[in-house]
Structure 1
């Protein structure tokens, strides 16, 4: 005697839904450092630490939701988001001939908003000259906070000019 069994098999022709990650055009790396009084003979950047490299929208939001907002950092702390493979140092070959555009603010909430909007514009490739950008730095300071967009080629004014209007 045959018995009927119940199962949870999918209907014929129905495919299991697999969510694919939303890949970014390039990989990005978060960095962090706190600049304390330099020790005798210590090189700049010794406190610089790589936090995480990501290449999907989902990874970005997981990181962003877990990382402190710049306004919550101690004075002299910096958050960096740079293209993967580029260190946030002027000695890095990608940055060596570059420049930076800096915006200052004395309102912590404004720094958080500028940071988020700039991150989204960078990873979303919203800048016309995206290849000219190395990364962005949010710097918390005693008197004023700063957001700086680092570029590759300071001498190329035609490329630099659009960034100055941000």
Structure 2
């Protein structure tokens, strides 16, 4: 039965309840105090229950990760303080999480907050990330909230033409600025990476130049690593 038919059935039942058969006066007189008129209300309740809640599944499951700055130390191995927070697979789950966590502007300096496809760890050593790289955009401290949300929505909503290349995104909160980086799988695929970079800038309405660094270069050269692609 369609939703429209359900609603019509419910309306008909309610009308019959409001206007009982005038020839049934004896039935009305026999009602005891507190008795409900119209047993057919059960049919109406059943039809309403047929309209069930349906979640909206995403194409991929995603996991939020948090690197707690208070747990970091110079002696600790990089990534040892990284923890998975929650994995979500529907639109409703995403919003229930997003609306109940701190946004970048509320995170402590030194925090790193990630959102990656399920079973991909936000580390260079992850097999899927190993041959990849990242695009990076920067903002004044505390001004990245909106673009972080737009980045998340573009990723989980599969808005990128080369969406299969996307591993995830991270926002880094630092003393003077916030950085959002978009990680991809195959850094050598220039066509795909440039396409992703251009689309990302459009989604964010970001006007400054952005650069793409290979993870391999970052591992070898650290901060001296240079952009391979720029837009």
Matched, 1:93 2:131: no
Matches within 5 A, 1:107-122: 107-109=141-143, 111-122=144-155
Q: How many residues matched?
A: 164
Q: 2:59 aligns with which of 14, 25, 34?
A: 25
Deviation at 1:53, TM superposition (A): 0.3
SS in 2 for 1:95: coil
Distance 2:118 2:80 in 1: 19
Q: Counting helix residues as a fraction of each chain, which structure ranks higher? A: 2
SS in 2 for 1:31: strand
Unmatched tracts of structure 1, length 5 or more:
none
The TM-score, its normalising length taken from structure 2, stands at 0.66
The TM-score, its normalising length taken from structure 1, stands at 0.90
Matched, 1:139 2:180: no
Distance 2:197 2:45 in 1: 58
Deviation at 1:14, TM superposition (A): 2.8
Kindly report structure 1 stretches of 4+ aligned residues shifted beyond 6 Å: none
Deviation at 1:67, TM superposition (A): 0.7
Unmatched tracts of structure 2, length 5 or more:
1-26, 202-231
Matched, 1:68 2:102: yes
Which structure is higher in RCO with an 8 Å CA cutoff and minimum separation 6? 1
SS in 2 for 1:14: helix
Q: 2:158 aligns with which of 110, 113, 125?
A: 125
| Residue equivalent to 2:208 | none
Q: Counting strand residues as a fraction of each chain, which structure ranks higher? A: 1
Distance 1:115 1:39 in 2: 28
Deviation at 1:143, TM superposition (A): 1.5
Deviation at 1:54, TM superposition (A): 0.5
Matched, 1:160 2:193: yes
SS in 1 for 2:145: helix
